[in-house]
Amino acid sequence: MSRCGADWFMVLLIARWPTFSCFTVVRVGNNVRMGATSNGGAPPTSEIDVAIVGAGFAGMYMLHRARQAGFTARVFERGGGVGGTWYWNRYPGARCDVPSLEYSYQFSDELQQEWEWSEKYATQPEILRYADHVADRFDLRRDISFNTTVTSLEWNDDGWLVTARSIDDNAPDHHDVALTARFVVLATGCLSSANVPRFPDDHLFGGRTYHTGAWPHDGVDFAGQRVAVIGTGSSGIQSIPLIAKQAAHLTVLQRTPAYSIPARNQQLSPEYVADVKANYGEFRRKNSLTRAALGGDTPTGPHGACEVNDDERRSALEARWQKGGLLFLGAFNDALTNSESNRLIADFVRDKIRSTVLDPDTARKLSPDSIIGCKRLCVDTDYYETFNRPNVSLVDLREQPIERFSEKGIVVRTSSSPCRDVGGSTESRHMEEHEFDAIVFATGFDAMTGAISKIDIVGRNGLQLRDAWSAGPVNYLGLSVHGFPNLFTITGPGSPSVLTNMIVSIQHHVDWISDCISWMNANHARTIEADADSQNHWVQHVNAVAGMTLYQSCSSWYLGTNVPGKPRVFMPLPGFPAYAQTCADVAQNGYRGFHVS
Ligand code: NA7
């Protein structure tokens, strides 16, 4: 299927990349096996149709579709196994906040019929088992290079030079591998680049530190330990109740309180599963027609929160609270467009926090005052109840900011004294040192663009993606960037992605990309690239849609404000069905808005 001759690349590589003199690459049938030597050897001679970065749910399905369409493909995966976010996020309590019967592939009816989910919300180990099952069932592993991080992508008229660094568990050093690919698909995940904030003197801390997004595979035993958790987003809120049960003492360091809705997790009843499976196609179809591509059996309420009286509002919200989960916000149709409606819904949650948390001061600190849903809503099991435990305490970092780390723990400022004296008495009066054996960073991710920006991506005429995105990510349909031909992003910024059931958005993008490259072959097209004009219009469109909502009223990872120095741009596009229709229209009209050559 490949269109580019190996000889052509030999000439190119020898001419332009003399440093890549240490590769051996062997073609085996349609598959490419890569090896590398630390010296000598031949330059990269292998050439494939599609290079895929990442073996999470996006990369796995992209590999499957590419193969089905007759393309040669290879996945490069930083981790030692498939699963992406579910490979890395092994912290206690890690669980999907989308019901498992929805958070699963729908491309194979056999797969969705045979796989048995045990709980309404699947745990991380169960989702990882599912990913492993898919990899085995569709024989994906033979085209995945594990422990291999793509470091650069360079466009050369007809294809991409892909360079990756491979770490062999059994060898002390790394080696570089390279190949050329006609297309590159970035399946790098939206929440895969950990955000680890730095604090003064953090190197001094003598205990253990962990990030929820890079959790040790063997687990961590906190029994008898004094533990700190920094961060109260989804990862903090899921892990805090479980760490609290194990640790001698848990201190939660909270910068911004989150809104969290009870999950009401439960074992799935065989009757319910059978019912869904008997009509799985219709179940999926209904879900895909909702804004977030989930919860088709619980449609958004027909009224705004201000359009009903107090009793009706409370009763609608109570029903959603009892049902649990993210669909709480769908009780009313204007939760994220009308600030007064939003306040009424937020008041309901604040009442719940006050009635759950026994200590009024702790309840006050846990009560958010921002727009509900502006940051991603959290879903929990016993989160607020955990603060009633005698071994759990809360430090509100807005009142007591972290001053520095110490050898024994974390020093917070306990008053707003203007004197920042380090020499003894003044400091001891205004600082408090909390001693810990372990500190857990539940501090989130450089979302949506973090993993992409770690790769040196050089497009047409030497244009660096980092420069193209210096003021924030720009692209067309969230799929393609002007100046970067034959490069696609799965669930990239500018697409609904993180505002939806991710697997639905992933499948939608993979199907669109697969159809696009098949269409290119059928039409003898060599390259495809977003037009500058269509990209500009798309960026304006995403901003305009986001501007109609309340999403921009707070700091959130949707806006990139959690990462110092990151441009403040609302990255995802609200509304899956309209977006999917636009993508279909673009394809049906000969890839309108793209330059095809
Ligand atoms: P989130 O939702 O980004 O949460 C990170 C938390 O860490 C949040 O409470 C942050 O407070 C806090 N944080 C981040 N940096 C700091 C510093 N420097 N000091 C104190 N606290 C800090 O990440 P999660 O991993 O919990 O969840 C990510 C997504 O995964 C989630 O939305 C679901 O989609 C699944 P802040 O709110 O910024 O004040």
| DSSP of 239-262 | HHHHHHHHBSEEEEEESS---EEE
Atom of ligand 1 nearest to the CA of 444: 23
pLDDT of residue 6: 25
Give the model's pLDDT for residue 14.
23
Cα torsion for 78, 81, 87, 91, to the nearest 10°? Answer: -100
- Show the ligand 1 pocket: residues with CB < 6 angstroms: 191, 197, 212, 230-236, 255-256, 376, 397, 442-445, 557, 562
Strands 402-405 and 409-413: antiparallel
Share of the chain above pLDDT 70, in %: 89
- What number is the average pLDDT over the span 410-426? 67
- Residue 422 pLDDT more than 80? no
pLDDT value at 12 more than 50: no
pLDDT tens digits for range 438-492:
999 999 999 999 999 999 999 999 999 999 999 999 999 999 999 999 999 999 9
Q: Work out the average pLDDT over 420-430.
A: 59
Is beta strand 174-186 parallel, antiparallel or unpaired with respect to 47-53? parallel
pLDDT in tens, 22-55: 232 322 223 333 434 343 344 455 799 999 999 9
CA separation for the pair 311, 324 (Å, rounded)? 20
Q: What is the pLDDT of residue 174?
A: 79
Judge whether 461 and 483 are in contact, CB under 8 Å.
yes
| Cβ(493)–Cβ(504) below 8 Å | no
Per-residue pLDDT averaged across 337-345, rounded? 98
Per the model's pLDDT, the better-predicted residue between 427 and 14 turns out to be 427
pLDDT at 381 over 80: yes
Taking the centre of ligand 1 as the mean of its atom positions, its distance from the CA of residue 64, in whole angstroms, is: 33
Report the share of the chain in percent with pLDDT over 90: 87
The CA distance from 492 to 335, in Å, is 25
Q: Is the pLDDT of residue 403 over 50?
A: yes
- Does position 15 have pLDDT exceeding 80, yes or no? no
* Ligand 1 center–CA 464 separation, angstroms: 29
Say whether pLDDT at 351 is over 70: yes
Q: How many angstroms separate the CA atoms of 436 and 205, rounded?
A: 9
The answer to whether residue 241 scores a pLDDT higher than 90 is: yes
308 pLDDT tier (thresholds 50, 70, 90): very high
pLDDT at 191 over 80: yes
Q: What is the pLDDT of residue 353?
A: 98
Instruction: Tell me the average pLDDT across 113-122.
Output: 98
- Its pTM stands at 0.92
d(CA 346, CA 553): 14
Cα 182 to ligand 1 centre (Å): 38
Question: Could you report how far apart the first and last alpha carbons of the chain are, in Å?
Answer: 18
Does position 70 have pLDDT exceeding 60, yes or no?
yes
Of 98, 199, 261, 562, best ligand 1 pocket probe by most atoms within 8 Å of the beta carbon: 562
**How far is the CA of 362 from the CAs of 234, 357, 386, 396, 443, in angstroms?**
19, 7, 11, 9, 21
C-alpha 434: how far from chain center: 32
Please say if the pLDDT value at position 13 is more than 70.
no
Q: How confident is the model at residue 416 (pLDDT cuts 50, 70, 90)?
A: low
Which atom of ligand 1 is closest in space to residue 199's alpha carbon?
18
Asked which of 5-14, 190-199, 257-266 is least confident by mean pLDDT, the reply is 5-14
Per-residue pLDDT tens digits for 206-240? 999 999 999 999 999 999 999 999 999 999 999 99
Does position 327 have pLDDT exceeding 60, yes or no? yes
pLDDT score of 23: 31
Tokens coding 402: 């972290």
| Distance from the alpha carbon of residue 556 to the mean position of ligand 1, in angstroms | 8
pLDDT at 10: 24
Identify any residues that bridge with 413 across adjacent strands, giving them in sequence order: 431
Confidence of residue 168 (pLDDT cuts 50, 70, 90): confident
Query: Average of pLDDT values for 416-444?
Result: 77
Q: How far is the CA of 485 from the centre of ligand 1 (A)?
A: 34
Pairing of strands 159-167, 174-186: antiparallel
The arithmetic mean of pLDDT across residues 541-567, rounded, is 96
3-state class (DSSP) for residue 42: strand
Nearest residue (by CA) to ligand 1, atom 30, is: 234
Amino acid at 240: I
Are 145 and 31 within 8 A, CB to CB?
Answer: no
Average pLDDT of the residues in 264-271 = 98
Question: By alpha-carbon position, which residue is closest to atom 29 of ligand 1?
Answer: 234
N residues, the chain: 597
Mean pLDDT of 162-170: 85
Helix (H, G, I), strand (E, B) or coil at 399: coil
Question: Residue 169: its pLDDT value, please?
Answer: 65
**pLDDT at residue 426 in the model:** 56
Q: In terms of DSSP bridges, do strands 73-76 and 47-53 run parallel, antiparallel, or are they unpaired?
A: parallel
CA dist., res. 540 & res. 167, Å (int): 42
